[in-house]
């Protein structure tokens, strides 16, 4: 069983919709991540939060808006997406020191119509 929980598992939305992806972890990790993964490609880093503060934004378009309400929760707000944004969105968490091994959730499969 994964210790990083992502909801929903599947999401279909139109280009004018507003939706959110949610991620929760209870491992006491203080770093949380959003990755985007297209089919047959490696995950691409989008955002990193460290101690609830945004520390890395990999030049992600503003139609993706991350939020870290507390140390256990990470959201990704979606608005005015394009069909090319359809992908698997993966959340991960890690300790902030040491090896920084990432623990991944099962992902949210997003389809934009």
Partner 1 sequence: AQSVTQLDSQVPVFEEAPVELRCNYSSSVSVYLFWYVQYPNQGLQLLLKYLSGSTLVKGINGFEAEFNKSQTSFHLRKPSVHISDTAEYFCAVRGTGNTPLVFGKGTRLSVIA
7: phi then psi, degrees, rounded to nearest 5 = -135, 145
Q: Binding of partner 1 at residue 90 (CB under 8 A)?
A: yes
- Say how far apart CA 50 and CA 17 lie, in whole Å: 29
Q: Binding of partner 1 at residue 66 (CB under 8 A)?
A: no
Q: Binding of partner 1 at residue 45 (CB under 8 A)?
A: yes
Q: Binding of partner 1 at residue 106 (CB under 8 A)?
A: yes
Strands 4-7 and 18-25: antiparallel
- Say how far apart CA 76 and CA 87 lie, in whole Å: 14
Among 11, 25, 43, 68, binds partner 1 (CB under 8 A): 43
- Cβ neighbours around 36 below 10 Å, total: 20
Least CB distance from residue 80 to partner 1, whole Å? 27
Least CB distance from residue 55 to partner 1, whole Å? 10
Site residues for partner 1 per CB under 8 A? 2, 4, 6, 40-43, 45, 48, 56, 90, 92, 96-107, 109
């Amino acid at each position: 069983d994964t210790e990083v929980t992502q909801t929903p598992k599947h999401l279909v939305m139109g280009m004018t919709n507003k939706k959110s992806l949610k991620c929760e972890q209870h491992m006491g990790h203080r770093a949380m991540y959003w990755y985007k993964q297209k089919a047959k490609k490696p995950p691409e880093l989008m955002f990193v939060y460290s101690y609830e503060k945004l520390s890395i934004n990999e030049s992600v378009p503003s139609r993706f808006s991350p939020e870290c309400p507390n140390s256990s929760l990470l959201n990704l707000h979606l608005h005015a997406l394009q069909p090319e944004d359809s992908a698997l969105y993966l959340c991960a968490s890690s300790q902030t020191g040491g090896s920084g091994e990432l623990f991944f959730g099962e992902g949210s499969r997003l389809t934009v119509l």
